[in-house]
Each structure stands twice: as C-alpha cells, then as structure tokens.
Amino acid sequence: MTRVFSGIKPTGHLTLGNYLGAMRQWVAVDQHRAEALFCIVDLHALTVDHDPARVRRLSRQAATLLLAAGLDPRLCTVFVQSHVDEHARLSYLLECVATDGEMRRMIQYKEKAAREQRRGGSVRLSLLTYPVLMAADILAYGADEVPVGDDQVQHVELTRDLAVRFNQRYGHTFVVPRATRPTVAARVMNLQDPASKMGKSDDTGPGIVYLLDEPDVVRRKVMRAVTDSGRDVVYDRESRPGVANLLEILAACSGGNPEALGGVYESYGALKRDTAEAVVEVLRPVQERHKELCADPGYVEGVLRDGAERARAMARPTVDAAYRAIGLLPAD
C-alpha cells in the first residue's frame, strides 16, 4: 500500500490556506487511499523566534483541528514530531549527506531568513537546516508520497536528492518519495497582499482567514480583500491577482472552476459576498467539531499517544538501518 506523510507546523493559528491547500485533501483522499501519517511538526516551529507556551498551545490546537477537519485515527496516524525521537536522530545523519550550498538555495530559507532579519532577530542555524529535518520526517517512514502545497515542493525535491545520494553512497536504505499537489487551491494568497501566500505566521492579520475565525470575521476579511484596478470580474493570475485569488477560493469552497466563475459575476461586491459565504460554510462543520473535541481533551491526547507509538514502530527500523549503513557501531 502506498505510504503518505505530511506535516503541519504549529507556528500560528491554522489558516484557510492550510485547509484548502492541504488538510482537506488529507481528509477526503489521502487517509482513505493510503497508509497515511499526519504530523504536527513542532520541532520545525523552533526554527524561528517563538514563545514556548504558545508552541505547546498551537500544537494541541493543530492536532484538535486536524481531527475536527475529519482525520480519523482508525484510518491514519496523527502524531507530534517531538514525541518520536527518530526524526532528530535521522536528521543528523542527513546533515552529513546534505551540503551547505543546497540549504542556502532553498527559497523558503531565503524568505524566512529575510523576515527574521526584518523583525530584528537573528537567523537560527536550524532555519537553514530545516529542510534536512523535513527530509528526515519523510524518509524515516519510507513515505512514497508527500502531499504538499506549491511552496513545499522544493523541499520534497531536496528530500529525493538526499535519499538517492544516501542510497548510492551507503546502500539502499530509503524509499525515494515524490510530492503530490492538490488540483485546486494549491496556493491560497493573502487577501491584503495577493502576491504573497496566506501564511499563518505572517503579520498582515486582516489578509489571513483563520480556521477558527467567527463567521462575521471571515465576512469582514473577505469583503475587505484587495482587488484590482479593473471593474470586470475575469480570472487572470498575472494581471488580476486579487480577483483571481477570490475566484480560486470560491472555486475551492464551492466545487466550481475559477475561469468559469469569472464569467458569472458582474461586480467585485457580489463575488466577495459569495466567496465569504462559501468560506463560512466550509469552515462551519470544522468549527463545530473543534468545539466538541475541546470539551474532551483526553480524547485528543489519547490519539496523539497512540499515534506516536505507531509512528515510532514504523520509523525505528529504517532509522536503525541508516545508522548501520553510514558506519555507526550498533549499541547492542
């Protein structure tokens, strides 16, 4: 059976981008067709300035939201990265295979390093080596497929390179994975700045729809979305990025097609109203289930405990094999 691994980083409240670009596909498709692992990648959240209590809170919230969105622990494994030591163990070995140049070429590193500097902070070494830890996350489980949004594709390419290099140097150890992408909403853009991705740790709050935003907050954010100077509603990512983003969100939420929807509307106002309502309806069941799960924290903890146990059992043989292959003396 195909094995699928994907993760979500507790660096902020989960957004509509996380949902449409990743979680929805995990729930509707991946957990049913594959042996799927979904991980709260909390170690990755430490690569930028953070408040420890907030990371803990966001990790719990992300796990609760994944279950609220419909991940079913009977069908898939949901767990927290730091509960499984194999990620960090393997990451070090892969650092011994990756190069400094490869790390510095990563677009996300350049963007996030620039952001840390803009905020007056220093760039942590772990931000540079982040893609190696991500490669370890994937390779430890022998994942065949990694469902990701557009922005993570480069990291999966690097993971492939590292797997191939390790296998060639030290003998076949890792499955070489490939990235898979959702067909709609692969990249949801910020409502206030449609040239940038809707990222959960960005500063422009009004441009980001969070999964737990109240309906009226969602409506306000969508109604205030930046549009373009033209008046007619047409789908054109290059010259009309704001309108194109709204059409893509509407299409992803209502099941339509952005080009065709472009022909339906005569004003930006009507497009925004329908988009806001479509988003509110998509979020409603997730928010309701989230509320129920918050009333039963023991359930979420139990899911994470079982998930970590299952994940550990899957990862350990591969990581132990990598330790032996690279030349380390077995401890027993």
| Residues within the interface to ligand AQP (CB under 6 A) | 7-9, 11-12, 15, 17-18, 21-22, 148-149, 151-152, 187-188, 197-202
The residue among 179 and 276 lying less far from ligand AQP, judged by its C-beta, is 179
291 annotated to bind ligand: no
Nearest to 289 by CA among 63, 67, 30: 67
The residue among 26 and 323 lying less far from ligand AQP, judged by its C-beta, is 26
> Minimal distance in Å, beta carbon 184 to ligand AQP?
10
282 annotated to bind ligand: no
150 annotated to bind ligand: yes
206 annotated to bind ligand: no
> Minimal distance in Å, beta carbon 160 to ligand AQP?
17
Burial label for 19, CB within 10 Å (0-12, 13-18, 19+), is: buried
Residue with the shortest CB distance to ligand AQP: 21
> Minimal distance in Å, beta carbon 156 to ligand AQP?
10
**Is residue 200 flagged as an active site residue?**
yes
**Is residue 272 flagged as an active site residue?**
no
Pairing of strands 35-40, 178-180: unpaired
> Minimal distance in Å, beta carbon 270 to ligand AQP?
24
Cβ neighbors of 250 (< 8 A, separation 6 or more) are: 256, 258, 261, 271, 274, 275, 278
CA distance 175 to 166: 11
17 annotated to bind ligand: yes
> Minimal distance in Å, beta carbon 318 to ligand AQP?
22
What letter would DSSP give residue 272?
H
The residue among 252 and 276 lying less far from ligand AQP, judged by its C-beta, is 252
Cβ neighbors of 146 (< 8 A, separation 6 or more) are: 4, 5, 6, 138, 152, 156, 159, 177, 178, 179, 180
Q: Which of 112, 221, 272, 291 is catalytic?
A: 112
The residue among 7 and 194 lying less far from ligand AQP, judged by its C-beta, is 7
| Residue 132 structure tokens | 């190696």
Q: Which residues pair with 282 in a beta bridge?
A: none
Identify the residue whose tokens are 């806001």: 276
CA distance 8 to 58: 11
What letter would DSSP give residue 20?
I
Q: Which of 200, 221, 272, 291 is catalytic?
A: 200
202 annotated to bind ligand: no
Looking at residue 302, its amino acid is G
**Is residue 291 flagged as an active site residue?**
no
Determine which helix (DSSP H) or strand (DSSP E) holds 12, and give its type and residue range: none
The residue among 18 and 91 lying less far from ligand AQP, judged by its C-beta, is 18
Q: Which of 110, 197, 221, 272 is catalytic?
A: 197
- As annotated, the binding site includes 9-11, 17-18, 137, 149-151, 188, 197-201
In the annotated binding site for ATP, the residues are: 9-11, 17-18, 149-151, 188, 197-201
**Catalytic residue numbers, as ranges:** 112, 197, 200
Annotated binding site for L-tryptophan, which residues? 137
